[in-house]
Amino acid sequence: MKLRCCIGLIIVAMVGNDAMGEFPGPIHDQIPIMPPRMISYTPSTKSRVRRSRQRSSFLAGFEVGTLGQRNSTTADVLGLKLLLGGRLFAVFPVSRDLYLKPTIGFFFKNQDIGKPSVTQFLAEAGLNIQYRLSKSSGFTWLLGVAQKAQADFSRISVGPISGATTTSSASETSPLLFRYRIGPTLGFTYQINRDLGLLADFEVSFTFTQPIHSYVGLVSGLIFKF
Amino acid sequence: MLKQKWIYVLLCLGLVSCSEEKPQGTIHANVIQPTGRHCEYTIAPGPITTLHSLTDMKGALGAVVTSSENLGSREEILDKHDGLNSVDVQFARSGNTYTPLDMDSLFALSLYYAVEFGYQLFTGLDSSESMTKVDPLSWSRTLIVHEARRTFGEIGVDPEVTDNAEYLSHRVTDDSGNEMVLNYLFSFPTDEVEDIPLGLNLGIMVHEYSHLVMQHLFWEKGISKDTLVSSEKPTKQTLGALDEGLADYFGYLATKDPGYFLCSFPSENRDLSVKKEFTDELIASLGSDRGYDTHTGGAVFAAINYEIGQAIGRDQNGIYLVQLMSSLLTCSNANLSSDSNTLNMDFGSVAACHAAIAKPEHKSQISSIYRSRLGSYGGI
């Protein structure tokens, strides 16, 4: 356990170093402000390029999808319990091929068995570091590290029960459970037009807490240039 | 400077995530609890003192596990616990109170809580040393199986069990040639139950735990003495029904709701507060294998004991019933013939044993209630 913790901390520290690599001067003056595929659509005339650089634009968007949590007992598919939800994100280039992608997300899953129900909620804030792998056929492929700080909580409720002397029901909301998870991510972007693109991300991540929980995320959405 | 701040933030996140859940002393499990009013439930913390690891749901009373295989598909599963895995659980903690974050965690925590509740119930009721002789704290290999997959019949032909719970005593021989009993408590998948799943019904899981106690206070004692069960009187059926009836009563003691069974099966005739008696038809069925259901006879015995509990105090009657389990083999009314070592008994002799155990001030009340409900089994 201690070894795993140490490895985890080292990874976190390394990721932190990479993410905070030294980039002299304002980023927008030196590197493209858009994911590679979108850049390829930027007109190449000097005037348009100048206008583009003058705009203080940034990239942001949303993703919806599922976050699968490994569950050996009552899985929805492939041993995973699927939470549904989505994320808001922004994209900041830190070098020609390296991007930071801060995200906030919210996922949930409701499980009913008879009258008792448990709704699991997962709120997360993350910072993905993505590296541009290739650009071909309109797609730009990105590989990186996904890391998320997540807060889990649940709402348990029960009743009313058939034949009970009362019709009251009960519910309870749990306190928050904070966890950190990290893992690889693979995604792509596809530009629809100058200001709009499609993207999809696949990630596999693991918590450090015992028991270690593994997650598989599959989300897709739209990315906008603002 | 900014770079350093981010590194510290990330390092802190890494440190926070390195904690492991190993409870020290008593914890409180935030689970679905009966309020004592009929089929009314609340979500409230209940104490658990014997759990060693929340991660593995393992404690002094056993472990909560699950299996992706049918438990009867390979001998090794029940013999050696091969293929039984811990349940994926996650809890949010506030102080010493743990709240499940998903349904499996709720089941796992509730199942262990119910077993410990049963253990504490019986320990509290035991005024003799009988329970120390069967102290389940020594049964660390007891397994509580969540979402158990099992077939009563032929695997692949008969359907797997759903909407049920079961205690199974599984006899194995270890590598040294010693015979031992492994205790299994099964909570089967929920299919048609629309109210409280059996695994979350405290009364039903304590009912199953009561079978475990009966196994070790009565059945194992008889087995160790090579006692035979007579086929001349309805002894086997009577003992089966007695086992069920006792379990029904202890489930009631756990929930304080005589109708706790109906919270899972509303249409069953298992409400202890509804008066029942041994009719000629029931007595006849106890004497034959045809059309016999241990639960039917058990429900009558439980209802009679509910009446006795109302008269002398439900916990006091619980104390007597634990003593009854323990002394049934040696009770003179059990007609255990010394020459053949064969047990002969019916509910008349069970009632006589029960009354014999009671304190003088309770004997007449117990006998009177039995007399009014025993039908053709006669007076005691």
pLDDT in tens, A202-222: 999 999 876 788 999 999 999
pLDDT of residue B273: 96
Distance CA B124, CA B113 (A): 16
DSSP annotation of A128 reads: E
What ipTM is given for this predicted complex? 0.87
pLDDT of residue B344: 83
- Give A121 to chain B, closest Cα distance, Å: 8
Q: Write down the mean pLDDT value for chain A.
A: 79
Across the interface, do B10 and A15 touch by the CB < 8 Å criterion? yes
Across the interface, do B99 and A154 touch by the CB < 8 Å criterion? yes
A13, A156, A177: residue with CB nearest B10: A13
pLDDT of residue B226: 77
- Give B332 to chain A, closest Cα distance, Å: 43
pLDDT of residue B140: 73
Distance CA B69, CA A73 (A): 11
Distance CA B34, CA A168 (A): 13
Q: Mean pLDDT across the stretch A104-123?
A: 96
Does A167 contact B at CB distance below 8 Å?
Answer: no
pLDDT of residue A44: 43
The answer to whether B342 touches B288, Cβ cutoff 8 Å, is no
Please determine, for residue B328, whether its predicted confidence score (pLDDT) is greater than 60. Answer: yes
Tabulate helix, strand, coil % of chain B (nearest 5): 45, 20, 35
B133 compared with B74, residue with greater pLDDT: B74
CA pseudo-torsion sign B296, B298, B302, B304: positive
Quote the percentage of chain A above a pLDDT of 70.
75
- Count contacts between A and B (CB, < 8 Å): 188
The answer to whether B87 touches B280, Cβ cutoff 8 Å, is no
pLDDT of residue B335: 63
Strand A177-193 and strand B342-343: pairing?
unpaired
Phi, psi of B334 (to 5 degrees): -80, -5
Task: Note the helical H segments in B170-274.
Answer: 202-214, 220-224, 235-255
Please determine, for residue B146, whether its predicted confidence score (pLDDT) is greater than 80. Answer: yes
Please determine, for residue B365, whether its predicted confidence score (pLDDT) is greater than 60. Answer: yes
Across the interface, do B11 and A156 touch by the CB < 8 Å criterion? no
- Give A71 to chain B, closest Cα distance, Å: 6
Indicate the pLDDT class of residue B130, thresholds 50, 70 and 90.
Answer: low
What are the pLDDT digits (tens) for B158-199?
999 999 999 999 999 888 888 888 999 999 999 999 999 999
B20, B100, B194: residue with CB nearest A118: B100
pLDDT of residue B342: 80
- Give A201 to chain B, closest Cα distance, Å: 23
Q: Mean pLDDT across the stretch B345-367?
A: 93
The answer to whether B101 touches A152, Cβ cutoff 8 Å, is yes
Which of residues 15 through 34 in chain A touch B, CB cutoff 8 A? 15-17, 19-20, 22
B10, B85, B262: residue with CB nearest A12: B10
Q: Mean pLDDT across the stretch B212-219?
A: 90
B6, B66, B196: residue with CB nearest A73: B66
pLDDT of residue B372: 94
Which residues share a beta bridge with A194? none
- How many beta carbons lie within 10 A of that of residue B269, not counting itself? 14
User: Of A24-38, A133-147, B286-300, B365-379, which gets the smallest average pLDDT?
Assistant: A24-38
Encoded tokens for A95: 């070098």
pLDDT of residue A127: 96
What are the pLDDT digits (tens) for A46-92?
444 444 444 557 899 999 999 999 887 778 888 899 999 999 999 99
Across the interface, do A172 and B30 touch by the CB < 8 Å criterion? yes
pLDDT of residue B286: 83
Across the interface, do B7 and A16 touch by the CB < 8 Å criterion? yes
Q: Write down the mean pLDDT value for chain B.
A: 88
pLDDT of residue B337: 62
User: Of A36-45, B10-19, B327-336, which gets the smallest average pLDDT?
Assistant: A36-45
A36 compared with B102, residue with greater pLDDT: B102
Indicate the pLDDT class of residue B331, thresholds 50, 70 and 90.
Answer: confident
B38 compared with B17, residue with greater pLDDT: B38
B100 compared with B293, residue with greater pLDDT: B100
The answer to whether B344 touches B318, Cβ cutoff 8 Å, is no
Residue type, A80: L
Please determine, for residue B14, whether its predicted confidence score (pLDDT) is greater than 50. Answer: no
Which among B44, B203, B188, B181 is positioned nearest to B121, based on CA atoms? B203
Q: Three-state DSSP class for B264?
A: coil
pLDDT of residue A56: 56
Tabulate helix, strand, coil % of chain A (nearest 5): 15, 55, 30
Question: Which distant-in-sequence residues (6+ apart) come within 8 Å of B349 by Cβ?
Answer: B331, B333, B334, B335
Predicted TM-score (pTM) of this structure: 0.86
The crossing angle, in degrees rounded to 10, of helices B360-373 and B314-327 is 80
pLDDT of residue B332: 65
Residue A66 vs residues A166, A184, A203, B244: alpha-carbon distances, Å: 38, 16, 11, 46
Distance CA B213, CA A159 (A): 31
Indicate the pLDDT class of residue A1, thresholds 50, 70 and 90.
Answer: very low
What are the pLDDT digits (tens) for B54-70?
999 999 899 999 988 99
Indicate the pLDDT class of residue B16, thresholds 50, 70 and 90.
Answer: very low
pLDDT of residue B127: 66
Residue of B nearest to A159 (CA): B41
Which among A98, A93, A95, A90 is positioned nearest to A199, based on CA atoms? A90
**Phi-psi bin for B283: left (phi > 0), alpha (psi -120 to 50), beta?**
alpha
Tokens 């270890």 label which residue? B174
Mutate to test the interface with B, among A174, A176, A182 (most CBs of B within 10 A): A174
Please determine, for residue B129, whether its predicted confidence score (pLDDT) is greater than 50. Answer: yes
Q: Mean pLDDT across the stretch B107-120?
A: 96
Task: Note the helical H segments in B185-339.
Answer: 202-214, 220-224, 235-255, 280-286, 294-312, 314-327
Across the interface, do A154 and B92 touch by the CB < 8 Å criterion? yes
Which of residues 31 through 90 in chain A touch B, CB cutoff 8 A? 70-74, 81
Which among A161, A166, A167, A148 is positioned nearest to A207, based on CA atoms? A148
Quote the percentage of chain B above a pLDDT of 70.
87
What are the pLDDT digits (tens) for B231-273?
666 788 899 999 999 999 999 999 999 999 999 999 999 999 9
pLDDT of residue B380: 64
